[in-house]
Structure formats: C-alpha cells, structure tokens
Amino acid sequence: MCGILAVLGCADNSQAKRSRVIELSRRLKHRGPDWSGLHCHGDCYLAHQRLAIVDPASGDQPLYNQDKTVVVTVNGEIYNHKELRAQLKSHTFRTGSDCEVIAHLYEEHGENFVDMLDGMFSFVLLDTRDKSFIAARDAIGITPLYIGWGLDGALRRWYNPPWFSEQIPSSPYDPLVLRKAFEKAVVKRLMTDVPFGVLLSGGLDSSLVAAVASRHLADSEAAQQWGSQLHTFCIGLKGSPDLKAAREVADYLRTRHHEFYFTVQEGIDALEEVIYHIETYDVTTIRASTPMFLMSRKIKSLGVKMVISGEGSDEIFGGYLYFHKAPNKEEFHQETCRKIKALHLYDCLRANKSTSAWGVEARVPFLDKEFINIAMSIDPEWKMIRPDLGRIEKWVLRNAFDDEKNPYLPKHILYRQKEQFSDGVGYSWIDGLKDHANKQVTDAMLMNASFIYPENTPTTKEAYYYRTIFEKFFPKNSARSTVPGGPSVACSTAKAVEWDAAWSKNLDPSGRAALGVHEAAYEETVDTKAASQNNGSPQKTQGTLEKTATVA
C-alpha cells in the first residue's frame, strides 16, 4: 500500500502552499516509507508516499504517460498489468511498475479504462492538457479513498454487476468452477518483488488462502527470489484458539510459521495508536484491528512487506452465524449484498489500515473481482445453512475444496465452524477491553452521551471510550461522518434481530450474540454431516465508488 494526496484547483500556488502539501503528504508516510514524490502543475498537486512492492528500483511515483501530459498517483496493485501492457504496444513505458499502465490506458481509452483494471487501487489522475481529473477506487473499496468536496465533481459507479442491484441469481453451483476461480485469485496475488507471507488464524478462510498459496508458490515468480516455502503468521494471547488452530494448519501445509503473542494490557496500551491509524470508532473494527496492528509491526520487523489475508469470505458466502436465521434465499442474498457493499467501512478498512500503519501491504483474494462475480452468481439456495442436508455456513466454499484425492486441508479443519468475532485471539481479549472501558467511562458519562455525541451516539461504555479517542484525533464533523453508526447499523446482528427477535437482547456487536447458534446448531450439523459422509466428519472446536470525507 501507498499514501496518495491530491490537491486540485488550489488558488494559492506559492512555495508556502507547496510546503503545506508536502507536510500533509508526510502524514501518510507510514503507508509508504520507501520514497516520496510530488508533481505540481499550476494550481494542482499530486503527492505520493511509496511502499515499493513491484519494481522497487524504478517505480517511484507520480507516474506519467509518454509525453508527461497525464500524471497519476496510485495506491494499490494492478495484477493484470502485463496483459494490459501487451495491449499498449504503441506506448513507451518508463518503469516496471504495475501502476504505470493507468496513465497509458487513460490516454488510449479515456475514463472508461477503469473496468479494465484487475486489482485493488485508489488513484487520482490529472490530464494537464485540459486540467481535468479522475479519482477512482477499486470495485469493493479494498483501498481507502477520501474526497473533499471543494471541487464537487460528478460521481458515477463503474462497477455494476447483476448482484449489485440485489437481483436474485440463479446460476447452478459448480464446486470446480468456484475452486478454480479462487485459486486463480490467490495466484494473481503472488505477484511481488519483496518478501511476503500469509496471515493464518487457523480458520477456514485464512487456511484456504495458505493452502492454495503453498500449493502454487513453487511455480510463481516470487519463488525465484524468496524460495518455495510459504511463510505464515499468527497472533494471539498465549493459549488462544487461533494460535493452536494456525499451528495445526501450518504443520499440515509445512509452512515456515511465525507465532506472535500479546497481552491484554499491551493491546489496551496500543488503542490510541490503533484508532489514529484505522480512523474509526466502530467497536468490532477496533477490537479486531488491535491484534492485527500489533502483528503487522512484528511482521515488518522480519523484513516482510506484503501479506495475503482472508477477508471477505463471510460477506460473500453468509459466514456469520446469524445467517443461520435467514428465513429464505432472497433475504439471505440481499444480506450478503449489503455486507459486501459495506466492507470498505469495516473489514477492508481494518485489513488495509492495520497493516499499512507499519508499511505492510495486505492483499485479499476473496475480494477478487472475477471471483466475487462467480460466487455471487450462485443461486443462494446453495448458500443457505441446512443442517438437515449437512450444510453448515459457507458449505459451498468448504465443499469446493473437499478433495479426497489431493486434499487441501484435513476435513476437520475444512469443516471447522467460525470462531466468534475477535475471540480467536483469546477469550479474555474482549472482556479485557470492556473492563478497561468501564473504568474510564462513568454511568453519568454514558447517560449524557447523546448531548456530547449527538451523531452516532455510543450506547456502551466501550463505544464511548473509543469515541473519545477518535474525537481527540479527528474532531471535525467531516471525519466522524465517515464512520458508520446509528441504531440500524451499530452491530453486525442488525439483520439477525429482524430474523429472530431474541437476538435483540444482546447489545454486544460481536459474534457472541450467536452463542446459541454456535453451540446448538453445530451439534445438529456434526450429526448430519457424520451421517452423510463415510470419510471424515467435522469435529467441534473452539460499494459506493468512493468513500467521502474532507481531507484534514
């Protein structure tokens, strides 16, 4: 990941203004510690803080077309840049950077080139010939993009697949098609000129990422530089479920595994720094971001600059435990659509900013554009949780990788149920956070929260505590407005309450609200799965185009 900043149409183009732009760009230096660049054209400035992943030697930004009339500053990776270069035979490229194709594609195709890009990206492109510009973001919002509205440019969505309109898909489920699409998505993300690894929690999603990456690493370009043994990373409190599960998967895949530990107090001590970097006061995001933030620092200390992670699977396949309560396939599908569209405010934000805080890039193959289109075209009847048929959550994904002849993972790992949110790093983590917040926030403070924070009013002491930290760093209305909140979206079980009113009694936004589902429903699944399979049964184990805000 990199840090980008564009100031366009600035009335003052003095040296003082240039110095101010450089100062603001330096605030993003943690995202791109390797080099910085600035292009000035009249009253327009494009700045860049680079994290060098592809072509570290010559790929500094901003980047240009052949005659330097088109300038672009990019955050992200374009996985199909070689194929795109091959289509631009009349253009001269100055670097080996994957992002340079953006300037040439614009020159060739105009603004319609964005859909040709396969990757994760945010960029600002300036055409100096008429001083027009484009600001764009990848289909899901894997990379963040904040826009100040001083210029009031028109917005349009460039990614419009059928599922985005929540049209109920009807394609039959083909496990081999799904498997091949995911393998292709992982292989794309092995594109790197620097050391890398996989974040491995031991759950289904990260284990599949590690299994596929390990299987294909030897044939990748990365193996020529860094060897064919995959590095995997996990963090948790000592004795946590994630550490145990990840070690089991790592041993099976024979990866070079790295375990990191933290204490509840170390996590609490890091909260202010975490909230500063992830720029949100959302409770579940902060809970999950803190261990990821601490792990990223350890990973960077090993010289690793890129990791592959498993975000997005739960949203695509209805993996959260409240999907057990979905009354029909229509509502199931509509809820997956809603969750995917909100990813840029939650898991994408967490994965991107927790790692970028230490100059580490996170890649997410489940959010590959082609893979999402295939997965979201499946008739949602196949995704429904059906204990009577031996189908637990994300059965279509589990089944796709259930290969008897050449197994990707042991069956009990492949059919391991999702650990409750944020508990995987250690069951005392969430409780420790709550206890700490209870000491910082009095009953009277919470009672008067609506007067202090009338917008997105916190309803728990933990939420109130995070909000006070956020407001200290980001006091402007424009900043707090970028964070989701309010009664309808304050927790991940909002739809679950509609599906089952009993869930409304639990105010905690984590998966702990699904405790009955996690235990009772899974008992049913184990029995039916065991009855339906002779070989191995599961074992019970513990968007919009742009995200908008005023630039600070």
b/e 408-426 (16+ beta carbons within 10 angstroms → b): bbebebbbbbbbbbbbbbb
Domain annotation covers residue 546 = no
Domain annotation covers residue 541 = no
Same domain? For 16 and 63 the reply is yes
Residue 501, token pair as written in the block:
């009113």
Among 109, 132, 161, the domain-final residue is: 161
Among 161, 177, 212, the domain-final residue is: 161
pLDDT at 528: 35
Shortest CA distance to 123 belongs to which of 107, 106, 109, 131? 106
> Three-state SS string across 230-290, please?
CEEEEEECCCCHHHHHHHHHHHHHCCEEEEEECCHHHHHHCHHHHHHHHCCCCHHHHHHHH
pLDDT at 538: 32
- Beta-carbon neighbour count of residue 540 at 10 Å? 13
Instruction: Say if residue 203 carries a ligand binding annotation.
Output: no
Domain annotation covers residue 540 = no
Same domain? For 134 and 278 the reply is no
Shortest CA distance to 62 belongs to which of 108, 114, 126? 126
Same domain? For 203 and 259 the reply is yes
Instruction: Give me the domain span that covers residue 12.
Output: 3-161
Same domain? For 434 and 526 the reply is yes
Same domain? For 37 and 63 the reply is yes
Same domain? For 114 and 175 the reply is no
What is Dmax (Cα atoms) for the chain? 75
The Cα 482–Cα 518 span in angstroms is 32
- Pair 107, 91: CB distance under 8 Å: yes
The Cα 510–Cα 422 span in angstroms is 7
pLDDT at 511: 57
Q: What are the backbone dihedrals phi and psi of residue 5, each rounded to the nearest 5 degrees, phi first?
A: -145, 130
Domain annotation covers residue 547 = no
pLDDT at 535: 37
Catalytic residue among 2, 44, 99, 234: 2
Strands 70-78 and 63-64: antiparallel
Strands 63-64 and 3-7: unpaired
- Beta-carbon neighbour count of residue 151 at 10 Å? 11
Say what the pTM is. Answer: 0.90
b/e 314-346 (16+ beta carbons within 10 angstroms → b): bbbbbbbbbbbbbeebebbbbbbbebbbbbbbb
pLDDT at 57: 85
Same domain? For 182 and 154 the reply is no
Instruction: Say if residue 98 carries a ligand binding annotation.
Output: yes
Same domain? For 82 and 229 the reply is no
pLDDT at 421: 46
**CATH code of the domain in which 15 resides:** 3.60.20.10
Same domain? For 301 and 415 the reply is yes
Same domain? For 345 and 313 the reply is yes
**CATH code of the domain in which 405 resides:** 3.40.50.620
Instruction: Say if residue 235 carries a ligand binding annotation.
Output: yes
Shortest CA distance to 50 belongs to which of 36, 40, 71? 36
Please count the residues of the chain: 552
Shortest CA distance to 459 belongs to which of 451, 470, 472, 450? 450
Instruction: Say if residue 207 carries a ligand binding annotation.
Output: no
Domain annotation covers residue 549 = no
Residue 111: burial class (beta carbons within 10 Å; 0-12, 13-18, 19+): middle
Residue 382: burial class (beta carbons within 10 Å; 0-12, 13-18, 19+): middle
The Cα 491–Cα 332 span in angstroms is 18
Same domain? For 106 and 226 the reply is no
The Cα 181–Cα 349 span in angstroms is 24
Could you confirm whether 10 is annotated as catalytic? no
Same domain? For 239 and 309 the reply is yes
Q: What are the backbone dihedrals phi and psi of residue 245, each rounded to the nearest 5 degrees, phi first?
A: -65, -40
Which residues partner with 35 through β-bridges? 50
Instruction: Say if residue 378 carries a ligand binding annotation.
Output: no
pLDDT at 342: 94
Domain annotation covers residue 207 = yes
Tens of each residue's pLDDT in the chain, 552 residues: 799 999 998 877 788 999 999 999 999 999 999 999 999 999 999 999 999 999 888 889 999 999 999 999 999 999 999 999 999 999 999 999 999 999 999 999 999 999 999 999 999 999 999 999 999 999 999 999 998 876 586 788 999 999 988 889 999 999 999 999 999 999 999 999 999 999 999 999 999 999 999 999 998 888 888 888 999 999 999 999 999 999 999 999 999 999 999 999 999 999 999 999 999 999 999 999 999 999 999 999 999 999 999 999 999 999 998 999 999 999 999 999 999 999 999 999 999 999 999 999 999 999 999 999 999 999 999 999 999 999 999 999 999 999 999 999 999 999 988 765 467 888 899 999 999 999 999 999 999 999 999 999 999 999 999 999 999 999 999 899 899 875 434 445 567 778 887 777 765 666 555 555 654 443 433 343 433 343 333 333 322 233 322 222
The Cα 511–Cα 496 span in angstroms is 11
Among 114, 131, 161, the domain-final residue is: 161
Domain annotation covers residue 506 = yes
Domain annotation covers residue 451 = yes
Domain count, the chain: 2
